Amino acid sequence: MISYKSGAELQDLAKCKLERNYGISIFTLLTVGMVNLSASSLLEQLLSGNTFSQYLLFLLVDFALTAFLSIFQTGICLFFLNMACGQPYKADHLFYGFQNNPKASFTVAAATTFVTFLSILPFNALRYIYWTTNDLNYMKYALLAYPIGFLVMYPLQLALSQSFYLLLDFPDYTGKQAILASCKLMKKHMGRFFLLQLRFLPLMLLCVFTFFIGFLWLMPYMKMTYTVFFLDIMKTPEQTP
């Protein structure tokens, strides 16, 4: 009988792993966040426009840029995996995905980005029509399309959630193999991961009331919890994809 840790046990373990490591963890995640924010702001300044062709170009370039920058997730996963396993960890692990098997990392990054892009595409299209027509009906449709898109996107993101970790655990994997392995692995654990993510919702709401400053500490806590979750579901041979 396989016994897995509860959500509370995973969170407690994450706290132990992060003890005296919050500083470098915050710095690492903040660095990636600032790079993403800067790139997004620059893109909006360069490609903002009112015509449909300009808006379409913006969406396509935004997709490509987001997919490229998502390669950082491989390095983030390595950073927290090493910390969780008592191995050396440092901030320059962020560039691991660009330096080691970048094609596989980009494939996974593009897949996760595409899921989000496709899910919110109806919302973006309806929002654009509202901007050009000022017809409030389209904004109503857009507000309806967004939660529907989220309901489509969220299970797919859960299924893909272990892909970056699997690339690290199985360095010879292609991006496609990591994606398929993640989907297979999460068949039995999707509900557990959903409930684990749900446990952070009260803390996220509290962080909003700190003018979002609390997220500096919450994000490493969440990432480490998700890392030890991965280690938990991979701890037996039966769970190896």
Asked if the structure places residue 1 within a domain, the reply is no
Q: Where do the H-state alpha helices sit in the chain?
A: 7-18, 22-47, 52-69, 72-84, 96-99, 102-133, 136-160, 163-169, 175-186, 190-198, 201-208, 215-233
CB contact at 8 A, 192 and 45: no
Give me the mean pLDDT over the 209-214 stretch: 92
Alpha carbon distances (Å) from 213 to 29, 58, 70, 111: 13, 30, 23, 30
Kindly tell me if the per-residue pLDDT of 238 is higher than 50: no
d(CA 73, CA 79): 10
Q: How many CA atoms lie within 13 A of 98 on its CB side?
A: 10
Host domain of residue 122: 7-239
| pLDDT for the residue numbered 44 | 85
Average pLDDT, the chain: 93
Asked if the structure places residue 2 within a domain, the reply is no
CB contact at 8 A, 112 and 165: no
The Cβ of residue 118 has, within 10 Å, a number of other Cβ atoms equal to 14
Asked if the structure places residue 210 within a domain, the reply is yes
| pLDDT for the residue numbered 45 | 87
Asked if the structure places residue 81 within a domain, the reply is yes
d(CA 178, CA 10): 24
In this predicted model, which residue has the larger pLDDT, 238 or 127? 127
Asked if the structure places residue 13 within a domain, the reply is yes
Tens of pLDDT, residue by residue over 148-180, are 999 999 999 999 999 999 999 999 999 999 999
Which phi-psi region, left, alpha or beta, contains residue 6 (left: φ > 0; alpha: ψ -120 to 50)?
A: beta
Question: Of 1-5, 104-108, 231-235, which gets the smallest average pLDDT?
Answer: 1-5
- Of the pLDDT bands very low, low, confident and very high (cuts 50, 70, 90), residue 236 is low
Using DSSP's 3-state secondary structure scheme, residue 147 falls into helix
Q: How many CA atoms lie within 13 A of 42 on its CB side?
A: 8
Give me the mean pLDDT over the 210-222 stretch: 95
139: amino acid identity, one letter: M
171: amino acid identity, one letter: P
Asked if the structure places residue 30 within a domain, the reply is yes
Task: Provide the domain count of the chain.
Answer: 1
Asked if the structure places residue 29 within a domain, the reply is yes
